[in-house]
Amino acid sequence: MLREYDTSAIAEEQEFLDRATDRRDRLAGRLLAELAEEAGDAVERARQRMLRAQHEELRRASEGLVFGRIDATDGTVRHIGRVGLRAEEEGAEPVLLDWRAAAARPFYTATPVDPQGQARRRHIRTTGSVVLGVDDEPLDGAAGSGLVGEGALLAALGQRRTGRMSTAIATLQREQDDIIRAGASGPLIVQGGPGTGKTVVALHRVAYLLFTHQQMADQAVLVLGPSGRFLDYIAQVLPALGETAVVSATCDTLLPGVLVERPESRRLAEIKGRAVWQQALERYVAALLPRPRDLRLRWEGEFTVIPEPAVAQALTSAVQGRPYHRARSVFADQLHRLLAEAIAEQREALLEEMEQGYEDILARFDRSNGVDGSGAVDGQLSEEDIEELADRIAADPAIGRFVEAFWPTREPGRLLRDLLCDPALLAAFVPSLSPDEIAAVAAEPGGWSSGDIALLDAAADLLGDHADAPDRGRAAAPGGELVADRARRQRDWVYGHVVIDEAQELSEMQWQMVLRRCPSRSVTAVGDIDQAEAAHRHTSWAQAVRAAFGDRWTAAELTICYRTPREVMDLTGPVLAKAGSGNAPPRAVRASGIEPWQLTVTPGELAGAAQRAVRELRDRWAGGTVGVVAPAARADGLREVLAGVPVLTAAQAKGLEWDATLLVDPDGIAAEPRGWNGLYVALTRCTQELGQVILT
């Protein structure tokens, strides 16, 4: 393997980096010049949005512009980078291959056993516009470690953590790349233990799909994470990869304008997460639809009756699987038409009555006016007359009040609250709940809890908006507005793809939230079923996704632990067994050389001991990060004495990583609900050093 001191290789790559940087700057300059021109019509404005996105992508590629190279056996050399750079000459090979391009894939997947036509892979380490070093990996059929770019990978893993996730496009491994580039036509469920790069895979898959499938960029991609802290941690990754058509949220923040206002017990969270609520809410909303009856309406002082059979037909035609308010709108249109036709028939009948007995007079009148009279007066309204009358009826406030009384508009929150607070309604529409469960739900205080959000979303979807447009949520954003900004504000936006991190935590009702936003089921869900801490009872992916996908989903697995050192992973086997898992921990690829240590103290000594331990860890890992994980009952007290250091429960720490972790009272974590799963999470947050404080 070529080392950093081989100055000829560094000089060679420095020359190429200089050329690529110059090319990038010239392309960016051309884009700026075009953007300075005045935008005219809608087509030109759309083109400018595309140019602006291209310029932003080039601007962000200043760091890590070039990071790799593959040399084919036929002598072809291709450099791999953050973005693609086309050559000056028409039809010439690109100066730089985008890492997402198909031609760049051997950089991630070629091995000595399967070289894919490649003779060598080179990782290029840079800072800004300077090449620091190179690592060459021959692909000549010799046995290897199975890691792609092992030197570059291990160097990256050994770097200090900053508290923000960074891109990993230079060090993606083959099993990760296979998932990143997998098809997106249906649900893909990725199982991966701690440190296997689940989040890296999920986010880089977003970038790959947006690069490969333009329609996804037009519709945006939704990224669901477990917490706001986690979303802050990953916030820089996708913008650094040049992607803006992305909405990041948690299940609690997915419903615009609705906030979680209070905590709830695990028992109630489990009850409200069950799939039975979807059908229960459907039945409840269906029960609120009006029933057919004669409708007596007043128009211009006269009463007209629309008979029950006509009303029944209009109701049946209006519902047809539509949301409540959309069906109401369709019914109102039909009622206006029915009333207009009934009024027209009444007028015709009245004229016919007036005509009887006056035939001779009418005939003489017609002859005196030169008309070949038949004695009949044409009182029929034309189709245009009836349409005009229906429009006038629709605009009449009194008719509007009548429709509102017959088929009232409803607010999702009030509708859901009425159901949840009424034991009789709960027993009628959610019969699978036990009397104790019904009493617990009905006794909850006001304000929304986390478990209510998915129910509220289902209710809002079943009701629909008051002015529900059939194609809403599918059109591209107008003007200069980013598609993600529009999608974020709109409850019923239809996304091109959904990526879920820590997907094992989703309840069955939260999976329904996902499906409503992506009915195509183009979903990538990554997680570790053994790290599940949510209140639901799922212990396998088949159980977790059955209500949403049935058996129609594809499984994939990440088996190698890159983050957590071998010394720590050796502790996890017994914890997994006590959690009831049949899975083996992922294989750690590196050792930190630091054995996990323990400190035993009394509860009274805990505060001082934790302060000293954190201070020592921060000194040892200066420039990096230190985190503390503790049971929920001790977290608040530790936050008061450990200023400047994140103190989290195991659930809050999920998905995060630090150079060093101080694990306080592991027995206390294990005693919590699903505590062995939580302890598995807590043990595996560090990249270098783990210390444990044991209480006696």
Confidence (pLDDT) at 230? 77
Confidence (pLDDT) at 440? 97
253 is in an annotated binding site: no
Confidence (pLDDT) at 15? 95
Sign (positive or negative) of CA dihedral 53, 58, 59, 62: positive
Cα distance between residue 690 and residue 597, in whole Å: 7
DSSP secondary structure letters along 401-443: HHHHHHS----HHHHHHHHHT-HHHHHHH-TTS-HHHHHHHHT
User: Can you tell me whether residue 379 is helix, strand or coil?
Assistant: coil
- With contact defined as beta carbons under 8 Å apart, do 512 and 275 qualify? yes
Confidence (pLDDT) at 174? 82
Q: Which distant-in-sequence residues (6+ apart) come within 8 Å of 439 by Cβ? A: 423
Cross-strand partners of 130: 127
197 is in an annotated binding site: yes
Confidence (pLDDT) at 243? 67
Confidence (pLDDT) at 158? 54
- Token representation of residue 612: 């000293």
195 is in an annotated binding site: yes
Cα distance between residue 367 and residue 409, in whole Å: 57
The two counts, helices (H) then strands (E), for the chain are 30, 20
Cα distance between residue 181 and residue 618, in whole Å: 39
User: Can you tell me whether residue 300 is helix, strand or coil?
Assistant: coil
- With contact defined as beta carbons under 8 Å apart, do 598 and 694 qualify? yes
Residue boundaries of the structural domains of the chain: 1-158, 208-285+414-561, 290-363+381-406, 566-695
578 is in an annotated binding site: no
Confidence (pLDDT) at 424? 98
193 is in an annotated binding site: yes
496 is in an annotated binding site: no
199 is in an annotated binding site: yes
**CATH number for the domain running over 566-695:** 3.40.50.300
Confidence (pLDDT) at 47? 80
What angle separates helix 276-287 from helix 412-420, to the nearest 10 degrees?
110
- With contact defined as beta carbons under 8 Å apart, do 18 and 139 qualify? no
The alpha carbon torsion through 39, 45, 48, 52 (nearest 10 deg) reads 120
Residue 111 CA: distances (Å) to CA of 114, 145, 253: 5, 10, 43
Burial 125-136 (b: 16+ CB within 10 A, else e): bbeeeebebbbb
Cross-strand partners of 554: 188
- Residues (pLDDT < 50) of the chain are 1-5, 143, 145, 149-150, 154, 157, 161-167, 362, 365-377, 468-480
Cα distance between residue 35 and residue 55, in whole Å: 9
250 is in an annotated binding site: no
Residue 9 phi, psi dihedral angles, 5° rounding = -65, -40
